[in-house]
């Protein structure tokens, strides 16, 4: 359970701590945050509560979630466990530090959210016969919508 008061109907409870990238009018630098209730926890303000390795690699100076996403499962587990500890009613590090709380817990109405990841590239595959037929109809008409090779080999595009 968290010391942060969260409405029962909130999507952002202690059990659901979504990561994101945000900025504020007073600090326009995009940075990592975690939603909890009606607040965003500014991870740059509490990075000292994480292990030095995680803070340096995944929080400090990060304007996207890419470093965290690329860190792997052990880092994700440690990151999540540290977040839950920081926000726990049983941990005093943030709860009992009113100055840090005021700096780190920002009302959601005061934040601007940003694209959370830098997308480097992608490839899409037609994995649905229905989707391939619908797209084929747009380009080639109903009678020639699905090319014969679609049934025998994967079709991808970049």
**131 belongs to the catalytic site:** yes
DSSP state letter for 105: E
Token code pair at residue 132 = 């391939």
Token code pair at residue 121 = 């590239």
Residue 109 zone, left/alpha/beta (φ > 0; ψ -120 to 50; rest): alpha
Separation CA 76–CA 20 (nearest Å):
14
DSSP state letter for 58: I
Neighbours of 82 (CB within 10 A): 17
Q: Which residues pair with residue 33 across a beta bridge?
A: 20, 42
With residue 124 as reference, give the H or E element that holds it. Answer: strand 124-125
| Cα distance between the two ends of the chain | 45
From 48, 131, 152, 158, active-site residue: 131
- Catalytic sites, residue numbers: 131
């Amino acid at each position: 359970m968290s010391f942060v008061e969260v409405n029962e109907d909130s999507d952002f409870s202690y059990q659901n701590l979504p990561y994101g990238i945000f900025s504020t009018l007073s600090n326009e630098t995009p940075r990592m945050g975690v939603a909890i209730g009606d607040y965003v926890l500014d991870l740059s303000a509490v990075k000292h509560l994480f292990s030095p390795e995680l803070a340096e690699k995944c929080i400090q100076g990060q304007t996207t979630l890419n470093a965290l996403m690329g860190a792997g499962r052990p880092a994700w587990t440690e990151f999540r466990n540290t977040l839950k500890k920081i926000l726990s009613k049983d941990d005093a590090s943030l709860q009992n530090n009113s100055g840090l709380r005021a700096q780190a817990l920002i009302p959601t109405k005061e934040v601007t959210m940003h694209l959370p990841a830098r997308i480097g590239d992608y490839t899409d595959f037609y994995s649905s016969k229905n989707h391939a037929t619908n797209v084929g109809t747009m380009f080639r008409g109903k009678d020639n919508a699905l090319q014969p090779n679609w049934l025998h080999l994967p079709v991808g595009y970049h």
